[in-house]
């Protein structure tokens, strides 16, 4: 395993080593992509719920909806019902056991230790191929503060095949009481085909920040070869966004992260990262709470905003229209006027203490 990996006591017996997976490291170390592939192979044999989820993914129904020049994929995925409808208020979190803590995981579930503090797990209710959940070893709240570089590092380790995502605690995370990220294969991520049309906001050595044009959701795009500068700029944006939205804690946002390339030597030899930041205004749209037949059980998170709209109810999946999607996104995304102010303040290049 990586020399960075360590195990807290609660995770002992839950983590697999390279020898457990039947893989051997070369002199330069084993690529994390190979470890992840071996983990899925091992867990599919050991864990029936994961095998069922992987089989079900191949049978999900998908249809396209166009919003202007952007194409969104609606995915009927009944396995996501629990996540989509998760109660995330403080009282509900106190009442239920945390499903990301090791003592509450299914008996068959195993993972890989990563970067001293994290564990990579297979997601048994996948939305995309090789869907992973990366959880902190300790039960600490969902927050991006001080953790941007972990996201960037793992994106580089898993490139070019995977992307990572972060859902804020009030806009998509079904376990806001336990820090976690997610990852999956990026080949079918629709937004990757939708951000060619963009407008430059900031250009500096090793980094550019742009706004995506002609996309129905206000989005900032960061492209960088300088890891530290990128992390600092994202943190600065969060502070600006918190100020604009009067957020006393982390402002509402979702992130998509991927690295364009990475050499076998590891994250210090990457070429570039791309980060998509979706500032938010609301957790769920009004149609989520409506009575039938107006109800649409859609709770947007990072993947929905990036083009894969997950719908766990068949009838809802069949009747969603482009007009419905436009209304949903307009309700949950940051209002255009506030987004314009965000762009102007990011362009002003004010100095902020890192979040």
Q: What is the pLDDT of residues 131-178, one digit of tens each?
A: 999 999 999 999 998 999 999 999 999 999 999 999 999 999 999 999
**pLDDT interval class at 350 (50, 70, 90):** low
Rounded to the nearest angstrom, the gap between the alpha carbon of residue 276 and the centroid of all alpha carbons in its chain is 10
The distance in angstroms from the start CA to the end CA of the chain is: 31
- In a domain, residue 105? The reply is yes
- In a domain, residue 219? The reply is yes
Residue 4 confidence (pLDDT) above 70: no
Q: Specify the pLDDT at position 8.
A: 61
**pLDDT interval class at 271 (50, 70, 90):** confident
Give the bridge partners for 134, in sequence order. 120, 181
- In a domain, residue 1? The reply is no
Distance CA 50, CA 56 (A): 10
Residue 2 confidence (pLDDT) above 70: no
Distance CA 46, CA 75 (A): 28
- In a domain, residue 354? The reply is no
Q: What is the pLDDT of residues 211-229, one digit of tens each?
A: 999 899 999 999 999 999 9
Count of all residues that appear for the chain in the document? 355
- In a domain, residue 244? The reply is yes
- In a domain, residue 342? The reply is yes
Distance CA 20, CA 43 (A): 11
Distance CA 317, CA 57 (A): 16
Distance CA 4, CA 118 (A): 10
- In a domain, residue 4? The reply is no
Distance CA 270, CA 155 (A): 10
Q: What is the pLDDT of residues 278-289, one digit of tens each?
A: 999 999 999 999
Q: What is the pLDDT of residues 67-87, one digit of tens each?
A: 998 999 999 999 999 999 988
Give the CATH number, domain containing residue 243. Answer: 3.30.428.70
**Which residues make Cβ contacts (< 8 Å) with residue 269, sequence separation at least 6?**
262, 263
Q: Residues 337-344: what's their mean pLDDT?
A: 97
Q: What is the pLDDT of residues 157-169, one digit of tens each?
A: 999 999 999 999 9
Query: What are the CA-CA distances from residue 354 to residues 37, 206, 351 (Å)?
Result: 36, 18, 9
3-state secondary structure of 26: coil
Residue 50 tokens, joined: 């994961």
Distance CA 26, CA 90 (A): 47
The single-letter DSSP state of residue 263 is -
Q: Specify the pLDDT at position 1.
A: 38
User: In this structure, are strands 162-167 and 132-136 parallel, antiparallel, or unpaired?
Assistant: unpaired
| Residue in 107, 352, 136 with CA at minimum distance from that of residue 244 | 352
Do 108 and 318 contact (CB within 8 A), yes or no? no
Q: Residues 3-14: what's their mean pLDDT?
A: 69
Residue 291 tokens, joined: 């009575």
Please report the DSSP string for 104-146 in residue order. GS-TT--EEEETTTEEEEE-SS-SSTT-EEEEESS------TT
The single-letter DSSP state of residue 280 is B
Residue 290 tokens, joined: 């409506």
Peptide bond before residue 160 is cis, with ω within 30 degrees of 0: yes
Do 219 and 198 contact (CB within 8 A), yes or no? no
Domain, as residue range, for 160: 9-347
Q: Specify the pLDDT at position 262.
A: 44
Residue 108 tokens, joined: 């068959």
Residue 264 confidence (pLDDT) above 60: no
The count of structural domains within the chain is: 1
- In a domain, residue 2? The reply is no
Distance CA 349, CA 352 (A): 9
């Amino acid at each position: 395993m990586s020399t960075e990996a360590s195990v807290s006591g609660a995770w002992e017996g839950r983590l697999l080593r390279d020898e457990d997976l039947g893989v051997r490291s070369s002199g330069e170390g084993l690529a994390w992509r190979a470890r992840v592939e071996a983990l899925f192979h091992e867990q599919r044999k050991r864990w029936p719920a994961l095998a069922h989820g992987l089989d079900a993914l191949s049978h999900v129904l998908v249809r396209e909806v166009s919003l202007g020049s952007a194409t969104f994929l609606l995915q009927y995925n009944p396995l996501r019902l629990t996540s989509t409808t998760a109660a995330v208020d403080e009282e509900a979190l106190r009442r239920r056991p945390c499903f990301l803590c090791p003592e509450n995981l299914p008996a068959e579930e195993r993972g890989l230790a990563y970067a001293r503090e994290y564990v990579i797990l297979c997601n048994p209710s996948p939305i995309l191929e090789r869907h992973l959940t990366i959880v902190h070893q300790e039960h600490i709240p969902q927050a991006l503060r001080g953790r941007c570089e972990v996201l960037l590092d793992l994106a580089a380790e898993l490139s070019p095949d995977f992307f990572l995502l972060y859902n804020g605690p009030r806009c998509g995370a079904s376990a806001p009481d336990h820090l976690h990220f997610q990852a999956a294969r990026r080949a079918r991520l629709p937004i990757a085909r939708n951000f060619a049309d963009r407008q430059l906001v900031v250009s500096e050595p090793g980094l550019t920040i742009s706004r995506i044009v002609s996309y129905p959701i206000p989005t900032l795009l960061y492209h960088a070869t300088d890891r530290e500068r990128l992390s600092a700029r994202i943190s600065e944006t969060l502070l600006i966004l918190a100020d604009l939205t009067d957020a006393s804690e982390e402002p509402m946002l979702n992130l998509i992260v991927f690295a364009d390339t990475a050499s076998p030597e590891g994250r210090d030899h990457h070429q570039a990262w791309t980060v998509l930041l979706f500032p938010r205004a609301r957790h769920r749209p009004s149609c989520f709470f409506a009575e039938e037949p107006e109800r649409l059980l859609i709770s947007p998170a990072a993947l929905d905003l990036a083009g894969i709209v997950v719908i766990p109810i068949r009838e809802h999946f069949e009747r969603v229209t482009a007009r419905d999607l436009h209304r949903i996104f307009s309700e949950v995304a940051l209002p255009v006027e506030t987004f314009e102010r965000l762009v102007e303040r990011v362009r002003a290049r004010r100095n902020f203490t890192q979040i």
